[in-house]
Amino acid sequence: MTAPTPTSIPSSEGPDRRGDGQRGNIGRLVASSMAAGLVVALLLVAAPFIPATESALTGAILCGFAVGWPMLAMVSVRSTGGVHRVVVGATHDGLVGEQPGAAATTQAILDVVTAVRTKGPLPR
């Protein structure tokens, strides 16, 4: 078996909307998808075909918020300029029992923590 190695996969290339070389902020995308889910949830609760029972209203709210998740998945893939890291060959069991997989995964996590602390980019 070959040792797992981290592989960087760049996100889809899209236009630079701000003109400063950096791409959009994922926080705005998350907030907008949550807001869309909230709006749909409120519309479903107010819908005349939803009975006014606790279970029906809870279900309507959950379905409304569920709309935000696919929206987040679509816009985050298309709108971020981040790096997606994959540790090829690593498994869940390998994180505990195999040193190469654990080392590669640990290094990828440390790279993310360092990038967040320094507000810099992830190494490619």
pLDDT in tens, 5-19: 555 544 444 444 444
Domain for residue 36, yes or no?
A: yes
- Render pLDDT for 69-114 as a digit per residue (tens, 0 to 9): 888 878 777 665 666 667 777 777 777 777 877 888 888 888 888 8
Domain for residue 89, yes or no?
A: yes
Domain for residue 124, yes or no?
A: no
As a whole number of angstroms, the distance between CA 75 and CA 20 comes to 21
Instruction: Confirm if 55 and 94 have CB atoms less than 8 A apart.
Output: no
Number of folded domains that form the chain:
1
Domain for residue 16, yes or no?
A: no
Range of the domain at 52: 5-10+25-118
Domain for residue 19, yes or no?
A: no
- Render pLDDT for 26-68 as a digit per residue (tens, 0 to 9): 778 788 888 999 999 999 888 888 888 988 898 988 999 898 8
Give the per-residue pLDDT at 7: 56
Domain for residue 90, yes or no?
A: yes
